[in-house]
């Protein structure tokens, strides 16, 4: 039976009279990839902070499985450029890490040759894989990936998405992947959740391989197998203040402006 790893139940958070999240319902199960999308300021980062236990909701609750272990991959790596730090030493800083697992983890991600490299000179794709390795060293059953393809070219994005899927298949872990882009998501994502303070819409992603924008962005071999354009299926729209205006007539419009 599939285990539920985390569940947001009517979660809301307000700060200085401003609503950051409102009535969020979302679940993440083992073996499931959930992609969270939304515009800037939509509350994605706040939602992640709540999941990680760094921020408490004002209202509602989040339920976590007793055995939940989260491996977190941040957006960027912030390291003093004057500090000499190899990949090996960087990964050895992970709390409770079994140092014997560092090399096998790098091998799994195809970057064993970077073991003694300085982290400051890594390419965008190499940096993201090192960050993914750090998340995996926690032996997680839930991976939280914040903008995992940031700073990576299109070919590298395809490779990373395939890698994330293979990790999910091997470990049967849940994956919550946060994306800034409202259109580009993994084709094999199980659930896409779009938020703009509240949940605007959710569902499975759809392949739009014939769309001109898709061809322009992902005209590389195998891209249609790994990345898709998610066609929003909304049942409402928002006014300039984010309030819901209608339920049926404007279902084709986005929840953001």
CATH number of the domain at 60, please: 3.40.50.300
**Cβ 96 vs Cβ 48: under 8 Å:** no
Cα angle 101, 102, 108 (rounded to 5 degrees) comes to 85
Q: Do residue 164 and residue 54 come from a single domain?
A: yes
- Considering the domain architecture, whether residues 178 and 254 belong to the same structural domain is answered as yes
From the list 43, 9, 23, the residue with the least C-alpha distance to 178 is 43
Domain boundaries, position 122? 76-139
Residues 89 and 111 grouped into a single domain: yes
Residues 11 and 92 in one domain: no
Whether residues 105 and 231 fall in one domain: no
User: What are 107-136's pLDDT values in tens digits?
Assistant: 999 999 999 999 988 988 899 999 999 999
Same domain, 4 and 117: no
Residue 187: CB atoms within 10 Å: 19
Instruction: Report the pLDDT averaged over residues 179-191.
Output: 68
What does the alpha-carbon distance between residue 37 and residue 202 come to, in Å, rounded to a whole number? 10
Q: Are residues 34 and 90 in the same domain?
A: no
**146 & 161 share domain:** yes
Among all chains, which residue has been given the structure tokens 């599939």? 2
Q: Which of 139, 160, 188 is the last residue in one of the domains?
A: 139
Q: Which of 139, 173, 194 is where one domain is finished?
A: 139
Do 92 and 53 lie in one domain? The reply is no
- Whether residue 96 sits in one domain with residue 58: no
Output the DSSP codes for 205-217: ----TTSHHHHHH
CA distances from 197 to 23, 128, 160, 188, 201 (A): 9, 28, 28, 25, 12
At 64-94, the pLDDT tens digits run 999 999 999 998 777 777 788 999 999 998 8
CB neighbours of residue 212 within 10 Å = 8
Domain count, the chain: 2
Same domain? For 99 and 200 the reply is no
- 54 backbone dihedrals φ, ψ, rounded to 5°: -90, -15
97 and 169 within one domain: no
pLDDT digits (tens, 9 = 90+) for 192-240: 787 888 887 777 765 323 333 323 333 443 444 555 555 445 444 444 4
Domain final position from 139, 168, 193? 139
Residue 213 CA to residue 192 CA, distance in Å, equals 20
């Amino acid at each position: 039976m599939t285990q539920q790893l985390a569940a947001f139940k009517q979660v809301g958070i307000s700060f200085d009279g401003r609503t950051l999240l409102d009535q969020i319902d979302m679940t993440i199960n083992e073996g499931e990839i959930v992609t969270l999308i939304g515009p800037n300021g939509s509350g994605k980062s706040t939602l992640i902070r709540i999941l990680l236990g760094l921020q408490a909701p004002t209202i509602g609750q989040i339920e976590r499985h007793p055995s939940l272990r989260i491996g977190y991959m941040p957006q960027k790596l912030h390291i003093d450029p004057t500090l000499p730090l190899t990949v090996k030493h960087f990964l050895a800083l992970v709390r409770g890490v079994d140092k014997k697992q560092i090399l096998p983890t790098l091998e799994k991600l195809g970057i064993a040759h970077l073991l003694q490299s300085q982290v400051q000179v890594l390419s965008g794709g190499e940096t993201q894989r090192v960050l993914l390795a750090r998340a995996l060293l926690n032996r997680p059953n839930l991976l939280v990936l914040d903008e995992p393809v940031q700073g990576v070219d299109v070919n590298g994005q395809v490779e990373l998405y395939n890698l994330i899927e293979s990790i999910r298949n091997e470990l049967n872990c849940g994956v919550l992947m946060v994306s800034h882009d409202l259109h580009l998501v993994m084709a094999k994502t199980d659930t896409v959740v779009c938020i703009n303070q509240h949940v605007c819409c959710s569902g499975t992603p759809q392949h739009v391989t014939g769309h001109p924008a898709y061809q322009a962005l992902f005209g590389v071999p195998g891209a249609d197998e790994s990345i898709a354009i998610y066609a929003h299926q909304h049942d409402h729209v928002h006014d300039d203040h984010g309030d819901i205006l209608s339920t049926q007539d404007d279902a084709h419009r986005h929840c953001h402006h």
